[in-house]
Structure 1
């Protein structure tokens, strides 16, 4: 029984370190775009998305006409602690009816529809953070 307990503990530690490593890798990767945001400000979002070759958003949440939250995990996990998010502030406000259409159509998933819709919008600023 002791061996089983030790094995379970070891497994939990390995999974924990693996998960933290993934989050920190994702955060570092996305932070590099935030650091170099001057390359994307004033350009369509497609420029940023095309440069993000290792990772693409999984969902998008537009809670304001001025910015959108892009998540890089499953929609079901998007509010979990430690989730990495990228906020894109838009040069021009996006009418709520337009962003709401895609949210309802695809249940917040970042599909080709969203990629085409948001891809044509001009980036004003980029901010990356993790939920706490």
Structure 2
């Protein structure tokens, strides 16, 4: 009976820490959203440089609905790719100038949407128009 109680306590602690880690990521990124005035009008590389605790793991682009050749937003997720589709902490960057869909799609397809050094270089020079952080 004591062993069962210990196991139950151990599992409860493990699951509570796992949920807390995700919440810390959200709170950490919300600080950048709260201070977005420091990043709007600046290259994305400035935001990446200031993110010392965590870096994006994936980058997802969606063409503008009525202008499919251009992208206005990029979603950066901070979890493994397989978890990017449910309850993921997301940094949505709206670019000051639209990006050609062909450029971003080729890069995404080539690197399987992982945030690699190629994405860091490509997006690093793009100017941030707005920042929003949410759980997707």
TM-score when scaled to structure 2? 0.89
Structure 1 residue 7 displacement after superposition:
4.1
Q: 1:72 aligns with which of 56, 78, 94?
A: 78
Q: 1:127 aligns with which of 121, 128, 132?
A: 132
* Whole-angstrom CA distance in 2 between matches of 1:4 and 1:108: 45
* Whole-angstrom CA distance in 2 between matches of 1:99 and 1:8: 48
Q: Who is 1:53 aligned against?
A: 52
Q: Who is 1:20 aligned against?
A: 19
Q: Which runs of 5+ in 1 are unaligned?
A: none
Cα separation, partners in 2 of 1:7 and 1:79, compared to 1, 3 Å: farther
Aligned pairs (5 A) from 1:81-120: 81=87, 83-120=88-125
Q: Which runs of 5+ in 2 are unaligned?
A: 64-70
Structure 1 residue 19 displacement after superposition:
1.4
**RMSD across aligned positions (CA):** 1.3
TM-score when scaled to structure 1? 0.91
Detail structure 1 runs of 4+ shifted over 2 Å in the superposition: 2-12
How many residue pairs get matched? 129
